[in-house]
Structure formats: C-alpha cells, structure tokens
C-alpha cells in the first residue's frame, strides 16, 4: 500500500523521536526506569516495595500487580531495557491510536492524530513514564468495545487500572454502554489482575504490600504545596480562582463529576444514541475525568488527554470559526506547558502556576458536552457528517479517513 505524504511525515517524525530517545538513553537512563527494574527485583526477592530508595531512583508508587510484571525486566540488560521500555510503549500507543481513530465518531485520520499527539507524548516517552502504556490500553479498550470484543476490552482496561487505578472510570462508563456483556468481564479481568502477584509470591507478603500501597495512597495530600507544584487538577483550578477546597470535600466533587459523566452516557443511551456515539462520549468524558478530576494528576498525566485533544482539533475542521478557535486554542494551551519546561524555572514556574493544562481540559470538557447535547439523537449528526465530507477539503488528502 502506497503511503501518502502525511503518513510518511508522521512515521518519520515518530521515528526521529524514537532514535533521539535511544541516543539520549545511552547517555542518561533517568530515574524512572532504574526504579521500575529495582522494584521488580524487590518483588522477586520478597522485599518491601514501598521503602526508601537510593540515589538515582524514584519512589515507587504503583500497585503490587505492576511490580510483579516489572520482575521480567530484571532479566534484560539495563542499556537495552531502558531503550526497549520506551520504544515498546511508544509503539503500543501508536497502534492503539490507529485503532481508536478508526472507530472514533466520526472517524479521523491516524497520521493527523499521530502528528498532533507527538509533542504531547514525547516528554513522557523520554522520561520513561508509564502514561503512554496506560493511554494505549485505554484506547485499545475503547476500540475493542466499539468492535464488540469485550474480552479484549476488559483485559486492556483492567491492565490500565492495575497501573494507575483511575482508568477504571473509563471502564465504568463503558459498563453503562454494555452493562450485561462488558461488566462481568471487566470484574473478572480486575480480579485476575489483582490475583497475579499472589501466584508469584507468598500471600502474606503480597497482602502486606497491598496494605502498604493503600496507606501510601491515603496519605498522598499535595494541597499545601506551592501552586505550580503538586497535582494540576480541578482542585488546583479552584485554588487558582480563589475558591480553595479541602481534600475530603474535593473527593466528593470527583465522585460527583464521575456520576454526572455516567448519567450523560445513560441519558444518551435512553435517547437512542448509536453505539459509536455512546462509545465516543465515554472516551471523551473518561479521558477528561482522568486528568481534570483524577486523584493523581501530575503535569505529565495530561498526556492521557492527547488523543482526545488531537481528535478535537481534527474534528472541528470545516466547522464554525468560533468552535475552531476555542478547540485549537485549548490544544495550544495544553501544549504550552511542555514548551514552557524548556525555559528556566524562573519562567516556567510562574506560568505553570496559572494551571494552563487544567484550563485546557475544562475547555475540552465543555466542547464534548456541547457536541453531545446539541447533536440530534438516534443517528449520526449531520454536523459530524458534514465535517467528514466537506471539512477535509481544506486540508491535505492524507488527513482524510
């Protein structure tokens, strides 16, 4: 199959980034990958996972099931493993993005999505974050539900939940779409994932690690940190707006936001939204909730919003100027933080104190709600179809699905 110019550009750009990652990793592997390898070794040796770490490593914050899988990386040479760790996550993200772009509502071009997500994802790949993998699993789960492959969807979303917990919000939204066929499979997949470390270590050890992990999560309160640090979520937005809220009350806000998202999907299902529109609503609301209302949204976590932000930029092609201006402005706002980090902290810290990423997520949430509520029920909206047919006339042919 002959590739169009935009396909070649997307592949070249991502290949250049992966080559640069390999070169940079040979010079300095960073803290995260050595942390993950050491955690896998501690799990294999039956040592505490949540403990003081030596210099050159970071504190391990993920679940015992993740630690059990990390034990595999201790058998890979560090120089090779540090590169493969990053490359495999990037490739998984790109394949999952391609699968989701085909089932999005309306479908969009993968090369356009790959190019638009690249600057939002590259930093996570360089730093060996787990966010690209989590995002890939979430996208794969969405695409699998759209195709009716519920076993695969449950496995993917359970895997994402084992890593970050809060991707479970997306799984629960998809349960509203398919309560009988998807919900039991998701519960079973979560049970299997939780039981994995018990098959590899003594039950007493694993129970103790789960208890330590829950304790660590329970004491993670960053509300008193300087405003440019800590979590960049809706709670930080309220603080920025002069409306601070305590962590306990904010947990109620998080829960209420999740329930409201589920109520919207249920309402759409009752109104007769087709399957594609229901799944698309789950994708948009799920990614926004995980970032804007998630319980652990660091600046790097906004990588999870990259697919939806890229989709919005492409989907508004050919629509009203105001809608294009708002959506693409939000994308630029989201991108501005990775760019700001190139500058000295005297410049980047005051800018990050404005909480631009959370403001961008709020704009995308408003756009998602407006699109879902304003489109007619029971069929694909004429506006969405118009975007696919005529909006593409203003961009290169390779942008078209």
> pLDDT tens digits for 204-250?
999 999 999 999 888 878 888 888 888 999 999 999 999 999 999 99
Give CA–CA dist 64/58, Å, rounded: 16
| 183-210 average pLDDT score | 96
Among 105-109, 289-293, 322-326, which is the least confidently predicted range?
Answer: 105-109
| 303-315 average pLDDT score | 96
CA atoms within 13 A on the CB side of 192: 13
| pLDDT > 70 in the chain, percent | 94
Residue corresponding to tokens 């909730």:
289
CB 13 within 8 A of CB 28: no
| 47-71 average pLDDT score | 90
What's the burial of 368, exposed, middle or buried (CB within 10 Å: 0-12/13-18/19+)? buried
| pLDDT > 90 in the chain, percent | 80
Give the 3-state secondary structure of residue 166: coil
pLDDT band at 1 (very low <50, low <70, confident <90, very high): low
Give per-residue burial for 68-105: e unless 16+ CB within 10 Å, then b.
Answer: bbbbebbeeeeeebbbebbbebbebbbebbebbbebbb
Q: In this structure, how many other beta carbons lie within 10 angstroms of the beta carbon of residue 370?
A: 12
Top pLDDT among 298 and 222 is at 298
The two tokens of residue 229 are 């640090």
Beta-carbon contacts of 191 under 8 Å, excluding residues fewer than 6 positions away, are: none
Using the predicted structure, report yes or no on whether residue 394 has a pLDDT greater than 80: no
Top pLDDT among 217 and 63 is at 63
Task: Name the residue among 116, 69, 33 with its Cα closest to residue 308.
Answer: 116
Taking phi over 0 as left and psi of -120 to 50 as alpha, with beta for the rest, 223 belongs to alpha
Give CA–CA dist 24/86, Å, rounded: 11
Output the average pLDDT for the chain. Answer: 90
The reported pLDDT for the residue numbered 370 is: 93
Using the predicted structure, report yes or no on whether residue 146 has a pLDDT greater than 70: yes
Break the chain into its structural domains and give their ranges: 5-399
Distance of CA 83 to the CA centre of its chain: 21
The reported pLDDT for the residue numbered 377 is: 64
Distances (CA, A) of 276 to 47, 103, 107, 244, 366: 47, 7, 10, 38, 20
Using the predicted structure, report yes or no on whether residue 51 has a pLDDT greater than 90: no
The reported pLDDT for the residue numbered 392 is: 36
Taking phi over 0 as left and psi of -120 to 50 as alpha, with beta for the rest, 230 belongs to left
| 325-332 average pLDDT score | 97
CA atoms within 13 A on the CB side of 347: 9
Helices and strands, counts by H and E, the chain: 18, 0
| 115-130 average pLDDT score | 95
Give per-residue burial for 115-125: e unless 16+ CB within 10 Å, then b.
Answer: bbbbebbbbbb
| 343-369 average pLDDT score | 95
Termini Cα distance of the chain:
15
The reported pLDDT for the residue numbered 149 is: 97
Using the predicted structure, report yes or no on whether residue 55 has a pLDDT greater than 80: no
The two tokens of residue 378 are 């029971």
Give CA–CA dist 247/223, Å, rounded: 7
Q: What is the pLDDT of residues 272-284, one digit of tens each?
A: 999 999 999 999 9
Give CA–CA dist 268/116, Å, rounded: 29
CB 232 within 8 A of CB 357: yes
Return the sign of the alpha-carbon dihedral for residues 152, 182, 148, 143.
negative
CB 277 within 8 A of CB 91: no
Q: What is the pLDDT of residues 26-41, one digit of tens each?
A: 888 788 999 999 999 9
C-alpha Rg value of the chain to the nearest Å: 21
Using the predicted structure, report yes or no on whether residue 385 has a pLDDT greater than 50: no
Full-prediction pTM beyond 0.85? yes
CB 317 within 8 A of CB 392: yes
| 332-355 average pLDDT score | 94
| 344-369 average pLDDT score | 95
pLDDT band at 389 (very low <50, low <70, confident <90, very high): very low
Top pLDDT among 335 and 2 is at 335
Distance of CA 191 to the CA centre of its chain: 22
pLDDT band at 316 (very low <50, low <70, confident <90, very high): very high
The reported pLDDT for the residue numbered 381 is: 39
């Amino acid at each position: 199959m002959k590739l169009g110019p935009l396909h070649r550009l997307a592949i070249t750009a991502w290949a250049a980034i992966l080559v640069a990652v390999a070169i940079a990793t040979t010079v300095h592997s960073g803290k995260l990958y050595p942390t993950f390898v050491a955690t896998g070794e501690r799990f294999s040796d039956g040592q505490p996972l949540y403990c003081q770490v030596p210099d050159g490593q970071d504190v391990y914050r993920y679940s015992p099931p993740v630690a059990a899988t990390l034990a595999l990386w201790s058998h890979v040479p560090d120089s090779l493993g540090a590169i493969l760790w990053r490359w495999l996550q990037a490739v998984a993200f790109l394949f999952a993005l391609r699968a989701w772009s085909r089932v999005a509502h309306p479908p969009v071009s993968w090369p356009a999505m790959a190019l638009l997500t690249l600057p939002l994802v590259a930093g996570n790949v360089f730093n060996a974050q787990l966010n690209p993998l989590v995002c890939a699993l979430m996208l794969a789960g969405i695409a699998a539900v759209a195709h009716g492959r519920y076993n695969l969807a449950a496995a993917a979303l359970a895997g994402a939940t084992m890593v970050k917990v809060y991707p479970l919000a997306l799984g629960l939204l998809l349960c509203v779409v398919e309560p009988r066929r998807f919900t039991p499979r998701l519960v079973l997949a979560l049970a299997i994932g939780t039981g994995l470390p018990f098959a590899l270590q003594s039950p007493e050890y694993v129970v103790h690690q789960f208890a330590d992990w829950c304790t660590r999560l329970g004491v993670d309160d960053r509300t008193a940190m300087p405003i440019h640090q800590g979590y960049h979520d809706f709670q930080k937005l309220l603080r920025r707006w002069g409306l601070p809220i305590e962590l306990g009350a904010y947990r109620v806000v998080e829960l209420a936001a999740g329930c409201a998202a589920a109520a919207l999907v249920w309402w759409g299902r009752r109104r007769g939204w087709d399957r594609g529109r229901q799944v698309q609503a789950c994708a948009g609301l799920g990614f926004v909730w995980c970032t804007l209302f998630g319980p652990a949204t660091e600046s790097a976590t906004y990588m999870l919003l990259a697919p939806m932000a890229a989709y919005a930029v492409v989907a508004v092609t050919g629509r009203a100027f105001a809608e294009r201006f708002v959506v693409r402005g939000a994308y630029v706002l989201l991108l501005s933080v990775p760019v700001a980090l190139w500058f000295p902290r005297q410049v980047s810290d005051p800018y990050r104190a404005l909480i631009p990423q959370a403001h961008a997520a709020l704009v995308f949430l408003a756009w998602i709600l407006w699109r879902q509520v304003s489109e007619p029920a029971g069929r694909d909206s004429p506006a969405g179809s118009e975007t696919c047919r005529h909006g593409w006339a203003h961009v290169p042919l390779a942008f078209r699905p």
